[in-house]
Amino acid sequence: MTGWIEKNRSILDFTLSSLLRRKGKNLSLFAVYTLVVFMLGSAMFLTQAMKREAALILKDAPEIVVQRLLGGRYDPIPLEYSEKIRAIRGVSTAGPRLWGYYYDPVIGANYTLMVPRTDAPPPEKIIIGSGVSRSRKAGQGDIFSFRGYDGDNRNFTVAGELSPESELVSADLILMAEADFRGLFGFPAGQATDIVVSVRNPKEVLTIARKVAELLPDTRPIVRDEMVRTYDSVFDWRGGIVVVLLMMALLAFVIFAWEKASGLSADEKREIGILKAIGWETSDVIAVKAYEGLLVSFFSFSAGLLAAYGHVFFFSAFLFVPALKGWSVLYPEYRITPFIDLYQVAVLFFLTVVPYTVATIIPSWRAAIIDPDSVMRS
Amino acid sequence: MIKLLNVRKGFNLGRPNEFIAVGGVTLAMEANRVTVLKGPSGSGKTTLLSLIGCMARPTSGRITLRRGLLAGGYFPGGADAPEVEVTSLPERFLTEVRRRTFGFIFQQFNLVKGITVLENVMLPAYPLGEAHGAVKKRAHALLEMFDLAGRAVAKVEWLSGGEAQRVAIARALMNDPPVIIADEPTAHLDSKLSVAFMEIIARLKEQGKTAVIASHDPLVFGAPMVDRVVAVRDGLIDGEGQ
Amino acid sequence: MISELIRKNTGQARFSPRKSSLALILAGIGVLLVGLMFAHARFQRQADLPALGAVAAVVARLELTDLALFTEARYTRHPSQADLHSAFQDHPVALEHFPTGSIAGPPAGLRRRHDRLD
């Protein structure tokens, strides 16, 4: 056993000497490899963490939202629908929500105007999200002027701000009173944007949603699972696009690694011949190549992984922000909670280290079976 | 004692470019003697050396080694048989024989570039799994013996021809093999260094080593410590010298 | 003779760390850092839970359904509430022209659902 350890350490010594003499080449390989792991890892960490965070944040979202559809698009829903829904067995509450969008030409952003069903601000007062206050540089006591459906301007005084911690869900929100909302948009009385439904037994959500769809055929119920799954698929898609792009980079990298490993130079072949001639076995030569791959992979993988972690969770994925943000004005400022697990790291490992290892070990095996007398023949 | 019995070696057999490098050689080499295989290039002496050194297997014929030459390890054929036929050993035993029985000195020395003199000398010991400290000490001792102590950490490409030659010899002696095999060792050396090389061979002979050298250099086969010169031509033995 | 020389040489084996030792130490540091990464993630998650709970409370109070990530498109502020066609105005798999919208996928309900509710 000690002999085995000593032998492998000695082979490792030789591998390191051998790597160090092609410093430039191996460092550039390390840099490219690290970069690939970093990019893939960042994309993966970001999308996974956002998915988990969205699921956690939205766990108390309304259980069912009922929209009315008109011509395939959605339309204000009559208030009496909420009575009908409430009459369904198993429904505990059903109430109308009022919300809509307002485009602010001053800063070029879309606000979400909304009437909270509890603690709504008094008339002509608004409560703004921190994204709004930041981009408008507005605080308590400032006045917002909104142009109504009829062309008249209406003034609202900022009475408070939503907590900056909730920015991820509230950056663009403006809360106002119901009368102000209806007056501003000309939203007809007796109608609401949609209806939120809560259910007594969570297991019955789907049954109740189906009953709603049967009772009110012009509506579309959206259950909470679907909302959360929307975020799953949004981030899957988002991550997927990035991963597809990065896969091409990965492929190019694997081809590069294969090329490097299979295109053994005459010098390297001679060297393997020398080792064989002085008593190294095929397995010893393969061990050298395997350690070489292992060392490069291990150090690149851990460096890339740590860099990705720092990038996403300490620096809020600042390199990806331009792509995520686009020309969004009200993009929330948030620090991402590090939801990572071994599974993700393992996936990343299989996406990067395995292809590299396969691409380098196979050609080196071919080189390692050089006959020991090849050095004598040349 | 190394015995060759009707050994033949052919390449690309059965193809149009088939050729016979060694065509039926029977030869016995005594232990603790210096034997030179003399012959022009292409005579088959290098192939003969690689067959003796267990780097390649003969196409037919047998090679036997005296058991005393097979230091360490277990070899089949009965513990008390005086001789072992190496031609029939499986590959892993041949590797073992190459490691422990033979030390090789190649044409152009074939040092591994880019690593230090010390590491080059230590290389043959790496697969044996000996303690690193002991291996390093032995390598230092060998370097000292060949006046290379000051060059231990130098890269091999910085060495002079004479130094490279001595490093190659030190590497061949690393596992303390009983037999030294040298292929055209003086081909790239001037006369002074060639003479120096043969003096080192003389010293090794004094220590009880056996040497088999392939060369067509008169400074080699004419040297006083050479016990026997075997002329090789066209893959066959073509007479003997002193 | 060689063994004599070894004895003579015993005292002067110079100390220089073995390359494999350095590599193994570096590898150990790497493993340690990756371990620290997981530890930090765990710690940070624990530390962030109250803040996430506060956000969830805002969601519950205001009955919100979506994250405020995609504010510049009419429907992307509330991807889960969008009507069935708006995310794919041109073609079901066409990328549309808002930068964030272009990487937001179709609403989950459009692609697979527990049940037909629409």
The answer as to CATH 2.60.40 being correct for domain A77-192 is no
Q: Is A72 in CB contact (< 8 Å) with chain C?
A: yes
Q: Name the A residues in 78-97 with CB < 8 Å from any C CB.
A: 97
Whether residue B124 is predicted with pLDDT greater than 90 in this model: the reply is yes
If you average pLDDT over residues B78-102, what whole number do you get?
Answer: 79
Residues of chain A with CATH 2.40.40: 77-192
Residue B233 CA: distances (Å) to CA of A258, B60, C55? 45, 19, 92
- C93 pLDDT tier (thresholds 50, 70, 90): very low
Q: Is B145 in CB contact (< 8 Å) with chain C?
A: yes
**Minimal CA separation from B167 to chain A, in Å:** 14
What pLDDT shows up at residue A88? Answer: 92
Whether residue A261 is predicted with pLDDT greater than 90 in this model: the reply is no
Q: Is C94 in CB contact (< 8 Å) with chain A?
A: no
The sign of the CA dihedral A163, A164, A170, A172 is: positive
* CA-based nearest residue in chain C for residue B149: C9
Angle at which helices A342-368 and A23-57 pack, to 10 degrees? 160
CA angle A228, A231, A236 (to 5 degrees): 130
- C66 pLDDT tier (thresholds 50, 70, 90): confident
Q: Output the average pLDDT for chain A.
A: 87
Q: Nearest by CB to A21, which of B106, B114, B175?
A: B114
- B78 pLDDT tier (thresholds 50, 70, 90): low
Q: Which residues of A touch B98 (CB under 8 A)?
A: 277-279, 372
Angle at which helices A342-368 and A266-277 pack, to 10 degrees? 80
Q: Is A288 in CB contact (< 8 Å) with chain B?
A: no
What pLDDT shows up at residue A327? Answer: 64
Q: What percent of chain A has pLDDT over 70?
A: 94
What pLDDT shows up at residue A367? Answer: 75
What pLDDT shows up at residue C110? Answer: 47
- Residues B41-50 pLDDT 10s: 888 888 999 8
Whether residue A308 is predicted with pLDDT greater than 70 in this model: the reply is yes
Inter-chain residue contact A241 with C118, CB threshold 8 Å: no
Question: Containing H/E element for A131?
Answer: helix A130-136
- Token pair for residue B230? 């075997």
What pLDDT shows up at residue A326? Answer: 62
Chains that touch B (3 or more CB pairs under 8 A): A, C
Q: What percent of chain B has pLDDT over 70?
A: 95
* CA-based nearest residue in chain A for residue B112: A271
Q: Check residues C17 and A95 and name the one with the higher pLDDT.
A: A95
Inter-chain residue contact A61 with C64, CB threshold 8 Å: yes
3-state secondary structure of B66: strand
Lookup result for tokens 């130098």: B154
Q: Nearest by CB to C9, which of B132, B141, B207?
A: B141
Inter-chain residue contact B113 with A267, CB threshold 8 Å: yes
Inter-chain residue contact B140 with C13, CB threshold 8 Å: yes
Whether residue C118 is predicted with pLDDT greater than 60 in this model: the reply is no
Tell me how far apart the alpha carbons of residues B218 and A208 are, in angstroms, rounded to a whole number. 105
Please state, as a whole number, how many other Cβ atoms lie within 10 Å of the Cβ of residue B184.
Answer: 21
If you average pLDDT over residues A136-163, what whole number do you get?
Answer: 92
What pLDDT shows up at residue A153? Answer: 93
Per DSSP, A112 falls in state E
Q: Is B129 in CB contact (< 8 Å) with chain C?
A: no
What pLDDT shows up at residue B77? Answer: 55
- Token pair for residue B45? 């002496």
Tell me if A329 sits within 8 A of C72, measured CB to CB.
Answer: yes
Mutate to test the interface with C, among A12, A44, A119, A230 (most CBs of C within 10 A): A230
> Residues with Cβ < 8 Å from A1, sequence gap 6 or more?
none
| Amino acid identity for residue A333 in this structure | E
Count of pairs with CB atoms under 8 A, one residue in A, one in C: 232
Chains that touch C (3 or more CB pairs under 8 A): A, B
Tell me how far apart the alpha carbons of residues B17 and B15 are, in angstroms, rounded to a whole number. 5
CA angle C54, C55, C56 (to 5 degrees): 90
Per DSSP, A121 falls in state P
pTM: 0.81
* CA-based nearest residue in chain C for residue A338: C41
- Token pair for residue A61? 């979202």
What pLDDT shows up at residue A238? Answer: 62
Q: Is the ipTM of this complex over 0.90?
A: no
If you average pLDDT over residues A266-271, what whole number do you get?
Answer: 81
- C67 pLDDT tier (thresholds 50, 70, 90): confident
What pLDDT shows up at residue B61? Answer: 92
Inter-chain residue contact A165 with C56, CB threshold 8 Å: no
Q: Check residues A334 and A207 and name the one with the higher pLDDT.
A: A207
- A185 pLDDT tier (thresholds 50, 70, 90): very high
Give the HSE-up count for residue B196: Cα atoms under 13 Å, Cβ half-sphere: 14
Inter-chain residue contact A279 with B127, CB threshold 8 Å: yes
If you average pLDDT over residues B157-169, what whole number do you get?
Answer: 90
Q: Which residues of B touch A22 (CB under 8 A)?
A: 114
Inter-chain residue contact C68 with A220, CB threshold 8 Å: no
Q: Which residues of A touch B49 (CB under 8 A)?
A: 376
* CA-based nearest residue in chain A for residue B121: A278
If you average pLDDT over residues C52-76, what whole number do you get?
Answer: 82
Whether residue B76 is predicted with pLDDT greater than 70 in this model: the reply is no
Q: Is B131 in CB contact (< 8 Å) with chain C?
A: no
If you average pLDDT over residues A8-23, what whole number do you get?
Answer: 90
Q: Nearest by CB to B138, which of C2, C12, C18?
A: C2
Q: Nearest by CB to A13, which of C20, C45, C115?
A: C20
Whether residue C115 is predicted with pLDDT greater than 60 in this model: the reply is no
Inter-chain residue contact A9 with B132, CB threshold 8 Å: yes
Chains that touch A (3 or more CB pairs under 8 A): B, C
If you average pLDDT over residues B76-105, what whole number do you get?
Answer: 79
- C58 pLDDT tier (thresholds 50, 70, 90): very high
Q: Is A248 in CB contact (< 8 Å) with chain B?
A: no
- Residues A57-112 pLDDT 10s: 988 899 999 999 888 778 899 999 999 999 999 999 999 999 998 888 888 888 89
Question: Which of these, A42, A32, A33, lies nearest to A243 by C-alpha position?
Answer: A42
If you average pLDDT over residues A237-248, what whole number do you get?
Answer: 69
If you average pLDDT over residues B186-214, what whole number do you get?
Answer: 91
Q: Name the C residues in 11-70 with CB < 8 Å from any A CB.
A: 18-20, 22-24, 26-27, 30-31, 33-34, 37-38, 40-41, 44-45, 48, 51-52, 54-70
Strand partners of residue A126: A158
Q: Which residues of B touch A376 (CB under 8 A)?
A: 46-47, 49-50, 55, 106, 183
What pLDDT shows up at residue C11? Answer: 39
Residue C20 CA: distances (Å) to CA of C25, C26, C89? 8, 10, 60
Q: Nearest by CB to C5, which of B132, B145, B207?
A: B145
- C90 pLDDT tier (thresholds 50, 70, 90): very low
If you average pLDDT over residues B54-78, what whole number do you get?
Answer: 75
Whether residue A241 is predicted with pLDDT greater than 60 in this model: the reply is yes
Q: Which residues of A touch B113 (CB under 8 A)?
A: 21, 267, 271
Please state, as a whole number, how many other Cβ atoms lie within 10 Å of the Cβ of residue A166.
Answer: 27
Whether residue B210 is predicted with pLDDT greater than 90 in this model: the reply is yes
Inter-chain residue contact C2 with B173, CB threshold 8 Å: yes
Inter-chain residue contact B207 with C9, CB threshold 8 Å: no
Tell me how far apart the alpha carbons of residues A130 and C23 are, in angstroms, rounded to a whole number. 50
Residue A190 zone, left/alpha/beta (φ > 0; ψ -120 to 50; rest):
left
Per DSSP, A179 falls in state H
**Minimal CA separation from A271 to chain B, in Å:** 6
Phi–psi pair at A234, nearest 5 degrees: -60, -45
* CA-based nearest residue in chain B for residue A6: B129
**What is the total residue count of chain A?**
378
**Minimal CA separation from A229 to chain C, in Å:** 6
Inter-chain residue contact B98 with A271, CB threshold 8 Å: no
The sign of the CA dihedral B188, B191, B195, B196 is: negative
- C8 pLDDT tier (thresholds 50, 70, 90): very low
If you average pLDDT over residues B93-101, what whole number do you get?
Answer: 84
b/e map A339-352, b = 16+ CB within 10 Å: bbeeebbeebeebb
The sign of the CA dihedral B118, B119, B124, B130 is: positive
- B80 pLDDT tier (thresholds 50, 70, 90): low
Whether residue A375 is predicted with pLDDT greater than 60 in this model: the reply is yes
